[in-house]
Structure 1
Amino acid sequence: MRSYTVAVVAAAASLTGLCAPQVFAAASGATQDQTFLVQAHQGNLAEIAAGKDAGRHATTTCVINVGKTLVRDHTKLDASVRKLAAETNTTLPSTPTAAQRQQLKAVQAKAGGSAYDTAWLKVQDTAHRKTLTLIDKEIAQGKNSSVVAAARSARPVVAMHLNMVRGGVCHTNLQHHGSH
Structure 2
Amino acid sequence: MSATTADATLAPIYEFSAERIDGSQQPFADYAGKVLLIVNTASRCGFTPQYRGLEALYQRYRDLGLEVLGFPCNQFGAQEPGNAEEILSFCEKNFGLSFPLFAKIEVNGDNAHPLYRYLKQEARGLLGSEAIKWNFTKFLVDREGKVRERYAPATPPEGLADDIEQLL
- Structure 2-normalised TM-score? 0.36
Higher helix proportion (structure 1 or 2): 1
- The higher radius of gyration belongs to 1
- Structure 1-normalised TM-score? 0.34
